[in-house]
Structure 1
Amino acid sequence: MSETRVNGADVSTAHQHLHSERGALRGERPGRSRNPVIKVADLAWLEFEKPDLDRAEIFARDFGFGIAARSERELWLRGTFAGSPCTVIRKGRASRFIGPAFRAAERADLDRLARGTGTSVREADVPGGGMAVDLLDPSGFPVRVVSCGEALPTLPEQQPLPLNFGKEHRRTNATQRPPREPSRIQRLGHVVLETRVFGRALEWYLDTLGMIVSDFLYLDGRRDRGPTMAFVRCDLGSVPADHHTLAMHLGPGTGYVHSAYQVTDLDSIAAGGEYLKERGYKRSWGIGRHIQGSQLFDYWRDPDHFMLEHFADGDLFTCDVEPGWAPMSTNGLAQWGPPATRDFLGANPSPQRVRDVIKALRGDNEMDTARLLGLLKATKS
C-alpha cells in the first residue's frame, strides 16, 4: 500500500480519488472491532413517540411513506421495498425519538447477542411478528436488534425517468413530465445521532453490533484528540453496504439529528420537494450532493420539527474499504448545492441548546471548552 506524508507523518493514500484523500495516521483507531459480538445486517426501523398520530400520518403520506399498520396507539410506516417497516410512531405525551432497531443477519445472532450482553430474547411487537434483544447504548439510547418474521411485500415503484446523455439517446419523440406527487420512499437508509460520549458510543456499536467506520471527521487543528464524527456502515463482507447506516457526532446534546430515506432519483427528490413545499412544509437544506456518502440530498422538517432526508445515489462499500479522515467543516458537507443552513447545522440559538451546553461542560463526558469552540468554528468554516 502506497504512503505519503502529512505534517511529517505517514498516511495511507488508499482513499485517493475514492471517498477521502486522507487515511489514518500511524496509531489512529482502525474503525472496526477485531471480535464483535455479532454483525448486524442493516437498520430495521426507527422508533418515535408523538401526541398526534393523525397529523403524523398526514405528513408521512406527503413525505412518501406507505402505511404498514395503524391503530389508536401505533403508526407503522414502510417503503416500497420488501422487508420490515421503516418507522414506528407510538402515541405519547410529547414528541420524542426513542431509538433505532437494527436487523440481525440471522435468528441465531439474537441468542449470541443476548449471551454476550447479559440480556434475553423476547417477542418483537412488529407487524408480521419476530424476535428482539433490547439494549442500551452508552449515550442512553434504547437499541433493539431484531429478527423479523413475515416480511412486508413489495409495493409499486416510482420508475426512474429515461435520460438523454450526450450521444446516448434513450428518449425521442417524448417529453419529460414527472408528476407532482410525493417522493415514494423505498427504504430507510440511515440515522444520525448527537452524543456527549462519542468515543464510548462509537466503540460500543463497533464491538457489540460489528459495524465498521467509513469516514472519520475531526476538528481542524485538533486531529491529535481523535475524531468527533463517524459515518458507520454494516459489515456485510464482500456484499456492498451503504456508506453509512449510522452516523454519530460529538455535541453538547444527546439526541436525534435526522434520518434518511431512499427514493428513486433526482427527479423524485425534486418533484417530491415541490409537493412538500406546496403543502407548507419547511425545507431545512437542499437540494445538493454530499461529500461523505456522495448521495443526492434534500432535508425537510415535519410538523414536530424532526428532520428527515430524501436521498438517492449513495455510495456502497465492501468490507475491504478502510476509513477516510477529513476535517469537520460546513464547506465539507456538500460537493454542490446551496450553503448549509443554520437550521440544518443546529446553529439557531434556543433555551434547550443553552441548557445542553451548560450540562455538557459541567458533566462527566467528552465535551470541554476547547472542543465546544472547535465545533462552533466548524459550523462557520
Structure 2
Amino acid sequence: MIKVTDLAWLEFEKPDLARAEVFARDFGFQVASREGDTLRLRGTFAGPPCLVIRRGPTSRFVGPAFFAAERADLVRLASATGTAVRRFGRDEPGEVVDLRDPSGFAVRVVHGVPDLPELPDQRALTLNFGSEGRRVNSPQRPPRAPSRVQRLGHVVLETRVFRRALDWYLDTLGMIASDFLFLPGQRDRGPTMAFLRCDRGSVPADHHTVAMHLGPSAQYVHSAYQVTDLDAIAAGGEYLKQRGYHRTWGIGRHIQGSQLFDYWHDPDRLMVEHFADGDLFDSSVEPGWAPMSASGLAQWGPPVTKEFLGAQPSPKMLREVFHALRDDSELDAGRLLSLMKAMSS
C-alpha cells in the first residue's frame, strides 16, 4: 500500500515511570519530556523521541510507530484499511493512522511529527590498525559511563501467525526482506524468522527495522539502540554492571545484520540492546536464507544464553504453548519440536 521510511518510535506501558527513567538514563537515553503519566526518551540524533512510555498497570510493549514519506501515504493507507487520518495530538503537529497487525500489536504510521534538534554525540575513538598509526602520543581512556544512545534501530517480535504477519508488513507497509531463517530440514515449509528493512530504493537502510519469528506467543522480544562504537558498548556495559543491571547476552557480533551487540534486561525484565556497526542495504540486495540455530546467531561472542532465547520453562510459557497448539496459529507440534531443537543447537 505504501513504503514506510523508518521506525519513528516504540510505545510501552510501565507502572513505575520514575524507575523507568533511572534505567533509561543509565542505559544512555536523554529525557525529552516527563509530563504527567508520559515519559518520552530520545537519542542524540535529530528526530522525535524514540521511546514513549506511559503509566500502566503492568510493564508491556504496546507497539511501533513508522514514518510515512508523504501525507498522501497516510490518506492511501487509511482508505485501503478502512481507518482514518487523524491529528497526532490535540496540541501537537503531525497526523497518524492507527492500525493493528495480525499478531495484535498496535501499529502507528505518522507524518509531519516535528524533529527534536541534534544533541552532542559521543566521540568515536581514533584507532590504530596494524601499520596505520592514526593515534600518536594520545592514550585511550574511554570513560566508564553511560553510552550515549544515538537512535532507535529495530524491534524484534514473536508471533503465532508468522506468515500472516510477514505478509502484512510486506504488503501494508512496503517493507522488504533482508534475510530469512528456516528450520533445518523444513525449508520447503518456508521461513520461521524474517529480518525486514525499509525499502528506500537506492538509499541504504538498516539491515532490519523489524524482525519477527514464529513462536507460541505474540510478544515483544527486544529493541535495539545504536551507539557510537565498540568502546561505547563495552564501557557503557561496565557502567550498567556497576549499577546492578543484568546482562542478558554479549558482547558479540551478529551474523544477520553484522551488528556488534550487547543485551540487557531493564528492571521489568524487558530486553534492550546496544548495537554499533550494523549492515546497511539498498533495495538491490536479495534476501539471504539460512537454517535457524542458536549457534548461528553470532559470528563471535559468548554462547547464547537461555535468557536471550526465552527458553527457560515457566508456567506462563507452558500455557502459551498449549493455547498456541489449540488455537488458529501456525505452530504445530512438529514445528514446535523443531524450534526447540534449533534453539538448543
1:293 to 257, 277, 283: 257
Q: Distance in 2 between matches of 1:248 and 1:137?
A: 12
- The answer for the alignment partner of 2:314 in structure 1 is 350
Instruction: Give how far 1:217 is off.
Output: 0.3
Instruction: Give how far 1:105 is off.
Output: 1.3
- The answer for the alignment partner of 1:83 in structure 2 is 47
* Structure 2 counterparts to residues 1-381 of structure 1, below 5 A: 37-125=1-89, 129-381=93-345
Aligned residues: 345
Q: Structure 1 residues 284 and 125 mapped into 2: Cα distance closer, same or farther (>3 Å)? A: farther
Q: Is the 8 A contact 1:41 1:234 kept in 2?
A: yes
Q: Distance in 1 between matches of 2:344 and 2:90?
A: 43
Q: What is the identity, as a one-letter code, of the residue corresponding to 1:296?
A: L
Q: Distance in 2 between matches of 1:46 and 1:350?
A: 27
Q: Distance in 1 between matches of 2:180 and 2:5?
A: 21
Q: Distance in 2 between matches of 1:61 and 1:123?
A: 31
Instruction: Give how far 1:150 is off.
Output: 2.1
Residue identity over aligned pairs, in percent, reads 72
TM-score (norm 2): 0.99
Q: What is the identity, as a one-letter code, of the residue corresponding to 1:288?
A: G
DSSP-derived class of the 1:124 partner: strand
- The answer for the alignment partner of 1:17 in structure 2 is none
Instruction: Give how far 1:135 is off.
Output: 0.3
Q: Structure 1 residues 149 and 100 mapped into 2: Cα distance closer, same or farther (>3 Å)? A: closer
DSSP-derived class of the 1:43 partner: strand
Q: Distance in 2 between matches of 1:89 and 1:215?
A: 31
Would you identify which runs of 4 or more consecutive aligned residues in structure 1 move more than 4 Å? none
Q: Distance in 1 between matches of 2:271 and 2:91?
A: 25
Q: Distance in 2 between matches of 1:106 and 1:344?
A: 38
Instruction: Give how far 1:126 is off.
Output: 9.8
Q: Distance in 2 between matches of 1:136 and 1:79?
A: 27
Q: Is the 8 A contact 1:69 1:127 kept in 2?
A: no
Q: What is the identity, as a one-letter code, of the residue corresponding to 2:102?
A: P
Q: Which runs of 5+ in 2 are unaligned?
A: none
Q: Distance in 2 between matches of 1:47 and 1:129?
A: 18
Q: Is the 8 A contact 2:48 2:113 kept in 1?
A: no
Cα displacement string for residues 230-255 of structure 1 (whole angstroms, at most 9, x for unaligned residues): 00000000000000000000000111
Instruction: Give how far 1:129 is off.
Output: 2.9
Instruction: Give how far 1:128 is off.
Output: 5.5
Q: Distance in 2 between matches of 1:262 and 1:342?
A: 24
Q: Which runs of 5+ in 1 are unaligned?
A: 1-36
Instruction: Give how far 1:127 is off.
Output: 9.1
- The answer for the alignment partner of 1:21 in structure 2 is none
Q: What is the identity, as a one-letter code, of the residue corresponding to 1:316?
A: L
Q: Is the 8 A contact 2:227 2:233 kept in 1?
A: yes
Instruction: Give how far 1:379 is off.
Output: 0.9
Q: Distance in 1 between matches of 2:91 and 2:130?
A: 47
Q: Distance in 1 between matches of 2:198 and 2:332?
A: 31
DSSP-derived class of the 2:291 partner: strand
Q: Distance in 2 between matches of 1:288 and 1:126?
A: 44
Cα displacement string for residues 188-223 of structure 1 (whole angstroms, at most 9, x for unaligned residues): 000000000000000000000000000000000111
Q: Distance in 2 between matches of 1:126 and 1:236?
A: 31
DSSP-derived class of the 2:248 partner: strand
Q: Distance in 2 between matches of 1:314 and 1:244?
A: 9
What is the aligned-residue RMSD (CA, Å)?
A: 1.0
Q: Distance in 1 between matches of 2:129 and 2:90?
A: 44
Q: Distance in 1 between matches of 2:112 and 2:24?
A: 23
Q: Distance in 2 between matches of 1:69 and 1:311?
A: 24
DSSP-derived class of the 2:296 partner: coil
TM-score (norm 1): 0.89
Cα displacement string for residues 306-328 of structure 1 (whole angstroms, at most 9, x for unaligned residues): 00000000000000111000000
